């Protein structure tokens, strides 16, 4: 299991990165992205610290740590600039906090993200088919989320991805130790979205490109 979307105490997660990674390793993960919430105020603080701990842990552990950021509630006109700054700061994976139906994300966030240099659009809510086609065109992965609330639109995202050929990943958006899941539970989340075990395996293949 590879989970590219988790949070440490550098934003609103409960754990220091090392404990987050250890708990992920114990759960059976072989790869984890640490992608704390960021905007123009803090990405230059967060990303170098996640890079440093990722490099140290990758030297001694079998689980692979991918340092990144989740651009969160940034006004759509500023997403491109924020993504460019994150990439310049060394982020290996850039996620944008999509238009989930359980938070007041600014309208236009999905399409602004998809026009920027990002890797994953997280929990994109009631994303349009036009936006899904843009994700396919740009090579941006759409997220199937295991997180409560965000997961409510997984079926919608999965249906449009199947229709258009857009690529998917399965992530937890973990903030607390109990949010981490093993492969068996991840497969169940994928099946719950109307997809198959073969789709899960393809999602994991997609995620492996970041390791």
CA distance 4 to 186: 13
Q: What angle do CA 179, 54, 70 make, to 5 degrees?
A: 55
CA distance 129 to 65: 33
Domain 2-208: assigned CATH number: 3.20.20.140
The pLDDT of residue 80 is 98
CB 90 within 8 A of CB 67: yes
CB 59 within 8 A of CB 30: no
Per-residue pLDDT of the chain (211 residues; tens, 9 = 90+): 999 999 999 999 999 999 999 999 999 999 999 999 999 999 999 999 999 999 999 999 999 999 999 999 999 999 999 999 999 999 999 999 999 999 999 999 999 999 999 999 999 999 999 999 999 999 999 999 999 999 999 999 999 999 999 999 999 999 999 999 999 999 999 999 999 999 999 999 999 999 9
- Measured in degrees and rounded to the nearest 5, phi and psi for residue 9 equal -75, 5
DSSP-assigned states of every residue in the chain: -EEEEE--TTTT-SS-HHHHHHHHHHHT-SEEEE--EE-TTTHHHHHHHHHHHHHHHHTT-SSEEEEEEEE-S--HHHHHHHHHHHHHTT-SEEEEE---TTS-PPTTHHHHHHTSS-SEEES--S--HHHHHHHHHHTPEEEEE-STTGGGGHHHHHHHHHHHT--EEEE--B-SGGG---HHHHHHHHHHTT--HHHHHHHHHHHHTT-
* Helix 183-192 and helix 154-164, axial crossing angle in degrees, nearest 10: 80
């Amino acid at each position: 299991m590879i989970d590219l979307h988790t949070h440490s105490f550098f934003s609103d997660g409960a754990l220091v990165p090392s404990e987050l990674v250890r708990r992920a390793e114990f759960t059976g993960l072989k790869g984890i992205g640490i992608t704390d919430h960021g905007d123009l105020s803090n990405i230059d603080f967060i990303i170098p610290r996640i890079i440093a701990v990722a490099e140290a842990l990758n030297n001694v552990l079998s689980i692979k740590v991918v340092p990144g950021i989740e651009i969160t509630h940034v006004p759509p006109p500023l997403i491109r600039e924020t993504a460019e700054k994150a990439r310049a700061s060394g982020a290996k994976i850039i996620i944008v906090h999509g238009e989930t139906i359980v938070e007041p994300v600014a309208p236009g966030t999905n399409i602004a993200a998809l026009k920027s240099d990002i890797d994953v659009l997280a929990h994109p809510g009631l994303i349009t088919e036009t936006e899904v086609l843009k994700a396919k065109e740009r090579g941006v992965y759409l997220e199937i989320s295991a997180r409560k609330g965000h997961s409510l639109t997984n079926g919608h995202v999965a249906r449009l991805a199947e229709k258009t050929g857009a690529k998917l990943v399965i992530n937890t958006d973990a903030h607390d130790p109990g949010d981490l899941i093993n492969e068996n539970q991840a497969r169940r989340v994928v099946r719950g979205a109307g997809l198959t075990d073969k789709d899960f395996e393809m999602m994991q293949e997609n995620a492996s490109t970041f390791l």
